[in-house]
Structure 1
Amino acid sequence: MVMKVHGSLLSGPVKRVLVALYEKELEFEFVPVDMRAGEHKKEHFLALNPFGQVPAFEDGDLQLFESRAITQYIAHVYKDKGAPLVCEGKPMATVSVWMEVEAHQFDPVASKLQWELVLKSMFGMTTDAAVVEENEAKLAKVLDIYEARLSQSKYLGCDCFTLADLHHLPTLNNLMGTPVKKLFDARPKVSAWVTDIMARPSLAKVLAMRNQ
């Protein structure tokens, strides 16, 4: 059976899963969920994700939700396909640390900036300059730590592209079109890392899905 990803192409977590599937060169079916119509809160969807959030994922009789858990499943179960995305032995511990950093240090701040600078305008809402200023300062501190880390290895987890890097891609893609880009550009190692990972063909394929 072909894997299924249920969600919206406007969702960062959905894109995160799709990038992982393309990295692994796996076949899948994308099942659109009409979030404007509240389809993600309907009973049939809640059977897949009881929290009523996208994505939901199916691989045969296995059902999963939470994008980072799904990408880990894809990377470990299909480790012999496509790009590795995970490491063996001790290096995986470091990859896991930076996956946690993305989830708990980078994403909360970056997502607030994404909401203010990208998503609000899509919904006809006004950007809160004070929130932007506050979170730019917080993101700058996180990126200082990234700059130090990327002075030690090419990618966050190790010297090869892993889930620790991949998990950043959807939010990075949105922020690079905003004034926040200056925070990344001001840090040479971070800037080179962003340029590198955003050039992944997997991301281009996911972005192209919106135009199909």
Structure 2
Amino acid sequence: MVLKLHGARMSTCTRTVAVVARELNVPYEFVDVDFAKAEHKSPAFTAVQPFGQVPYIDEDGFKLFESRAISRYLAKKYAGQGTKLIPTDPKDEAVFEQGVSIESSNFYPHAFGFAFEKVFKARRGLTTDEARAEEHLKTLAAKLDAYDVILGKQKYIGGNELTLADLFHLAYTQFLITLGQGDLFESRPNVARWWKEISNRPSWLAVKDGA
């Protein structure tokens, strides 16, 4: 059975799973979840994803949600095809796990926090806290200074080979750039080099504008 990806085409997390699937040459059938109709909050959807969030996958009856968990599952199950996204050497894997932790602890909270203030609040009819948004940007800038140091010593954030750690950055970095924050990445030479490379991969170009 073909993997079914239930999500929203422009959802950051949905596109993360889509780019991973493409790197692994795993075909998927996209099942569009209509947010306008609140399908993600329907009983049928929350029976699989209790938090009412996208995406989730259904692979011949095996259902899994949370984009990072899905990505790891796909990378391990289809490790013999496409791009190897999780190293197997213990030291390389440790550096990869370090990269994953960097993204989840140092990048995501502030990238999401800024997007939440500038975009998601407005969608909910809430008022943007400009001071909070600026605080997230200031913190993220300091984090990216550290990124520049790391990427001056290794090619990718999770080592010297492309891994899930890099792919996890794609959707929110693109989001920040569309919100006018491209200088955060372009002004740091090693970050700029890294971003240019990962953002021009055919897998990302195929889903950048919709999974």
What's the TM-score, normalizing by structure 1?
0.92
The offset of 1:123, in angstroms, is 6.9
Is residue 130 of structure 1 aligned with residue 126 of structure 2?
no
Output the CA distance in 2 between the equivalents of 1:126 and 1:204.
Answer: 33
Following superposition, the deviation at residue 209 of structure 1 comes to 4.0
Query: Is the 2:10–2:209 contact (alpha carbons within 8 Å) kept by the matching residues of 1?
Result: no
Structure 2 partner of 1:74: 74
- CA RMSD across the alignment: 1.8
SS in 2 for 1:191: helix
Corresponding residue for residue 62 of structure 1: 62
Q: Percent identity?
A: 39
- 1:44 pairs with 2:44: yes
Unaligned stretches of 5+ residues in structure 2: none
Residues 118, 174 of structure 1: 8 Å contact kept: no
The C-alpha deviation readout for 1:80-115, integer Å capped at 9, x for no partner, is: 111111111220111112112211221010012223
Residues 37-186 of structure 1 aligned to structure 2 (within 5 Å): 37-89=37-89, 90-119=91-120, 127-186=128-187
**Structure 2 letter corresponding to 1:17:** V
How much does 1:119 deviate? 4.8
Counterpart of 1:26 in structure 2 is: 26
TM-score (structure 2 length as normaliser): 0.92
Counterparts of 2:157 and 2:8, CA distance in 1: 28
SS of corresponding position for 1:164: helix
Distance 1:43 1:119 in 2: 24
Write the deviation string for residues 26-85 of structure 1: whole angstroms up to 9, x where unpaired.
111000011221111111111221111111111112110000000000111100111111
DSSP-derived class of the 1:64 partner: strand
Residue identity opposite 1:148 in structure 2: V
CA distance, structure 2, for counterparts of residue 183 and residue 208 of structure 1: 21
Instruction: Note closer, same or farther for the CA distance 1:36–1:42 as it changes in structure 2 (3 Å cut).
Output: same
Moved more, 94-103 or 176-185: 176-185
CA contact (8 A) 2:171 2:208 kept: no
The alignment covers a number of residue pairs equal to 210
Say if 1:20 and 1:71, in contact at 8 Å, map to a contact too.
yes
Residues 16, 170 of structure 2: 8 Å contact kept: yes
Higher mean displacement: 172-181 or 85-94: 172-181
Give the aligned residue type for 2:38: G
Identify which of structures 1 and 2 has the higher relative contact order when contacts are C-alpha pairs closer than 8 Å and 6+ apart. Answer: 2
